[in-house]
Structure 1
Amino acid sequence: MLDHAIFWHVYPLGATGARIRDWSAEDEGHRLPDLLPWLDYLIDLGCNGLLLAPIFASSTHGYDTLDHFRIDPRLGDDADFERLMDACRERGIQVLLDGVFNHLGIHHPMVAGDGPIRRLPDGSPEPWEGHGDLALLDHADPRTEDLVVDVMNHWLSRGIAGWRLDVAYSVPADFWARVVDRVRESHPDAVFLGEIIHGDYLALVREGHLDTVTQYELWKAVWSSIKDTNFWELAHALGRHDEFLAQAPMQTFVGNHDVDRIASVTGSEGAAVAAVLLLTLPGIPSIYYGDEQAFTGVKGEGFSADDPVRPPLPATPADLAPVGRWMFELHQSLIAARRRHPWLVRARVEVLETANEAISYRVHAGADSLTVHLTLEPTVTARLEFSDGETAEYAW
């Protein structure tokens, strides 16, 4: 499945306009079907996967889970989930759900009870990274493993293709290995994507028996190189990327629900260059909803810090402002070229030439290759040259 996957990554609570904090029963609603008008948009863009941030019952932002078996009441219920899944199946869209299995919300029943929660010496739940509203699960307790296996199997049986594992790097890799092996007994084709920011990417894949992990090193180099007009940083990161690719596919992105919008960091022209990089480099790409429209947004401070990068979508794609259409069409063009050259997913990459303001690299697999030339100064341009004779040129 991953050899052909290009994901559209959506934060459902934000995209559907749900109230994130201080909500009550009055804020509950059937919002999950609000994503239905966007499924044909996803296909029109060229994607075939829907990566959903948390949809399970939680207190606020979705990552403080209260019940892994229940749809968040702000998004709806089981019937709403089935409507979405049926619509995705009709279109051949594979769905990944975000599994938060490192911690629970502090108000989860297991925290107050005798659940498998890590405890401080005074018996209080141990918070994750200082977040008092999040209680760490005890991954040495067999009950945690059983819980995660049960949750995964439950939703896989209802039609999802796999799981994004939130903060997978904070969980012992051998825990993931045991869980994944057990789940694959019933769902051998299930996909497991681990989130890792810092640490040993390949060890998490290998020792955790995962399929792929988030390529944060490449993400950082992409926006930083463009913003600072310093493609030497990208050249170094591409060398590292190639080392990773020799052993495992990498999940690539230039935006997600946790980071500033690429268009806000680099400007719209720089965001176009980032799109070229994302969709010409080897890996399993995901496009964060709105990046394909040059949405802007910068994280703030305090409890509402993430709101600017997790905005509501309009009711339908027809309601989008026309100002972002050019970026959508760029993504369409690049994804179409990637579809015509599916070998790009598991290819290798080498840097040919580097300067502060320009870089050339070659992506290759067997007899197939793609050479990409990018410039930031004196003009922002991209040129793609495939070994089969296909070419494309862009200037912004």
Structure 2
Amino acid sequence: MTEPGWVEHAIWWQVYPLGFVGAYPADPPPGPDEHRLRRIVEWLDHAVELGASGIALCPIFESRTHGYDTTDHYRIDRRLGDDADFDQLVAEAHRRGLRVLLDGVFNHVGTDFPRYRQAVADGDTDWFRYNGEQFETFEGHGELVALNHDNPEVVDYTVDVMKHWLRRGVDGWRLDAAYAVPDRFWARVLPAVRAEFSDAYFVAEVIHGDYSARVRNSGFDSVTQYELWKAIWSSLNDGNLYELDWALQRHNDFLDVFVPMTFVGNHDVTRIASKLVNNRHIEHALVLLFTIGGTPSVYAGDEAGYRGVKEERFGGDDAVRPEFTTPLMGVDAQGHDIFRLHQYLIGLRRRHPWLHTARTSAAKLSNTQYVYTSQAGSDRLIVALNIDEAPMSFSLGEIGVENGRVAAGSGAPPQDVISQARIEPHGWLIIAPE
């Protein structure tokens, strides 16, 4: 593994800045004199209160629309503000002990990117994928022009952009649409950046395919664990915990090579509170996120049960990328409970940092009832999930434990140390073996 040592303790709070500060969609759009980026500073104490150790920012560079159509990688999006606003955000984050992760779009650029405008004007297409008749695009989006990753100038440009912002104080990069970029490109870029910034973290957006092979061939520290994200919500919705167990076995294999970035929500998907059919199962999704191996990421708003459905249409992301005002304003009683559960589970994880690389194994499994152990070396937690209409009972002796201390649970028994566990319908329990 290549990840820096500090990542063992990383828990990200992810923010989509353009939406978060009401800069996109907005008509008219704000100008740099509004300094919208500074609004995120006002939320840093909320991130600390949540228990996060870093903020992961979606695109903040100059673009025309949603941020993923970059036109200048060296300039802060004027709708967000300017360099001084960025410097203040980084300084205030670091003052609170929060790391900062930037989102780098290096697979494609927007049609206002100067090199693209030049290519259209003079026919010099070397910077882009060009098939002799037209420029290739990202997944058919005409406004997103694919870069030519075999061009050494594109390699050097990407290295320089990354170093520029690392010198400005950020701690790492999320590599957008990395799955669409040849591994050989990253294998040239990342060592060159690490030569100056050995402590930087690089996590790649990868959705399908062989995660481990991508890490080996590219040099990423981590990739986004979409397989597990899908298994969590679909197994809870379908009452098929065998799917979840299969995904966790795959997850164990990944942990032999790298530590995945785990999540139950992000800026590209329907929020977990809207995705789950039974709202009681939000708790189960969170218990999973914080008791298995990985580097957890919480998408802003999910910690308070925000809702939002992604739709496949123009503007279909807007519902999951809203403007934020006062922390927890308008949140109902369940939302406050979800926030407190996040706090407790993040605290539990911080007390057990070994969970970062923990492997899971099933001790009891049916469609609707699941007991698994998370273990690293001699450290172990027992986690029981019940999504059945009936209670679930088991003896700790069945899984080779004489007794254990209840660490957390829904309807947890009043006694601290137990040898028999009983989990209420649609409940859960976390036990620390004695």
Shorter-chain TM-score bucket reads over 0.9
Contact 1:261 1:295 in 2 (8 A): yes
Answer 1 or 2: which has greater helix percent: 1
Contact 1:382 1:394 in 2 (8 A): no
- What CA distance in whole angstroms lies between the structure 2 residues aligned with 1:46 and 1:136? 38
Contact 2:264 2:285 in 1 (8 A): yes
Letter in 1 for 2:321: R
Q: In the alignment, does 2:85 pair up with 1:69?
A: no
Question: Aligned-residue CA RMSD in angstroms?
Answer: 2.1
Letter in 1 for 2:127: P
Counterpart of 2:55 in structure 1 is 50
Counterpart of 2:164 in structure 1 is 154
Q: TM-score, normalised by structure 1?
A: 0.95
Deviation at 1:72, TM superposition (A): 0.5
Counting matched residue pairs gives 393
Output aligned runs, 1:24-173, within 5 Å.
Answer: 29-114=34-119, 116-122=127-133, 124-173=134-183
Q: Give structure 1 stretches of 5+ with no counterpart.
A: none
- Report the CA distance shift for 1:151/1:388 in structure 2 as closer, same or farther (over 3 A): farther
Q: In the alignment, does 2:409 pair up with 1:393?
A: yes
Contact 1:111 1:125 in 2 (8 A): no
Counterpart of 2:206 in structure 1 is 196
Counterpart of 1:348 in structure 2 is 359
Q: In the alignment, does 2:23 pair up with 1:13?
A: no
Identity, % of aligned positions: 49
- What CA distance in whole angstroms lies between the structure 2 residues aligned with 1:382 and 1:206? 43
Q: Of 2, 7, 10, which residue of structure 2 is paired with 1:2? A: 7
Letter in 2 for 1:334: L
Output aligned runs, 1:272-283, within 5 Å.
Answer: 272-283=283-294
Deviation at 1:286, TM superposition (A): 0.1
- What CA distance in whole angstroms lies between the structure 2 residues aligned with 1:382 and 1:365? 26
- What CA distance in whole angstroms lies between the structure 1 residues aligned with 2:149 and 2:240? 42
- What CA distance in whole angstroms lies between the structure 2 residues aligned with 1:46 and 1:301? 33
Deviation at 1:301, TM superposition (A): 3.9
Letter in 2 for 1:183: V
Counterpart of 1:362 in structure 2 is 373
Counterpart of 2:242 in structure 1 is 232
- What CA distance in whole angstroms lies between the structure 1 residues aligned with 2:225 and 2:53? 20
Q: TM-score, normalised by structure 2?
A: 0.87
Q: Give structure 2 stretches of 5+ with no counterpart.
A: 1-5, 120-125, 412-426, 428-434
Deviation at 1:247, TM superposition (A): 1.7
Contact 1:381 1:394 in 2 (8 A): no
Counterpart of 1:222 in structure 2 is 232
Q: Of 296, 301, 323, which residue of structure 2 is paired with 1:312? A: 323
Deviation at 1:319, TM superposition (A): 3.2
Partner-residue secondary structure (3-state), 1:249: coil
- What CA distance in whole angstroms lies between the structure 2 residues aligned with 1:391 and 1:274? 17
Contact 2:375 2:381 in 1 (8 A): yes
- What CA distance in whole angstroms lies between the structure 2 residues aligned with 1:382 and 1:160? 48
Q: Of 338, 341, 350, which residue of structure 1 is paired with 2:349? A: 338
Contact 2:110 2:143 in 1 (8 A): yes
**Runs of 4+ displaced beyond 4 Å:** 21-28, 379-383, 385-388
- Report the CA distance shift for 1:60/1:363 in structure 2 as closer, same or farther (over 3 A): same
Deviation at 1:21, TM superposition (A): 6.7
Deviation at 1:381, TM superposition (A): 9.2
- What CA distance in whole angstroms lies between the structure 2 residues aligned with 1:382 and 1:36? 47
- Report the CA distance shift for 1:382/1:208 in structure 2 as closer, same or farther (over 3 A): farther
